Amino acid sequence: MEFTDSSSVPRPSDHMSSPTISRQDREVLTESAKAGMRNAYAPRSGFPVGAAVLTFHGNVYQGCNVESVISGLGTCAERCAIDHAVAHGEYCFRAMLVTSRLENPIRPCGACLQYINEFAQIGKDDIVIFMVGATGKVARSSIWEMLPGGFGPKDLGLDLSRYVKNNSEGLSED
Ligand code: THU
């Protein structure tokens, strides 16, 4: 049996730097995530979370956590934001931002990292992840930093080209 050291598994982030996101895009993401947080449905935890994604087309979609009285149902804000974009026909993302009422930034959970990774493989580019605390503390990372070498559609050799539309439209960098 031959073992592979996980550090030798190629990581996309080893040869690509994560996208640059303009200050203006980050501000729009922050406002959008905060608006999402205000709409959170969190009767069980009492912990509202807001998120937003920036698409390759330059659009921003907000999300919030949606809980259920049925244990195990419900979704996190990050996945809600992605689903919101998908419902509008957008599958490729440059950045995600998540915020809560805690002073320290919160990190997406493992399930959300897996979900974000799925879409990073569709866009064939890293997705910047901003984590913003209630008083403005910001942490920045990316999906390929937080979930290096994650399993996804590319491992199955799936043709994802129908989900990729005009990748380069609407990009702005500073
Ligand atoms: N939650 C999110 O929506 N995103 C995170 O990054 C962490 C946790 C939600 C899930 C649940 O509704 C509540 O916060 C408490 O865990």
- DSSP annotation of 143 reads H
Q: Give domain status of residue 10, yes or no.
A: no
Q: Has residue 50 been placed in a domain?
A: yes
Q: How confident is the model at residue 114 (pLDDT cuts 50, 70, 90)?
A: very high
Strand partners, 82: none
Residue 145 annotated to the active site: no
Does 172 map to a domain?
no
138-150 residue pLDDT tens = 999 999 999 999 9
Closest to 131 (Cα-Cα) out of 108, 101, 153, 161: 108
Domain that residue 130 falls in = 17-161
Total domains in the fold of the chain: 1
- For residue 47, tell me if it sits in a domain: yes
Pick the catalytic residue from 78, 90, 103, 173.
78
Find the 162 Cα to ligand 1 centroid distance in Å.
Answer: 31
Mean pLDDT score, 42-53: 98
Strand partners, 98: 51, 131
| Per-residue pLDDT band at 6 (split at 50, 70, 90) | low
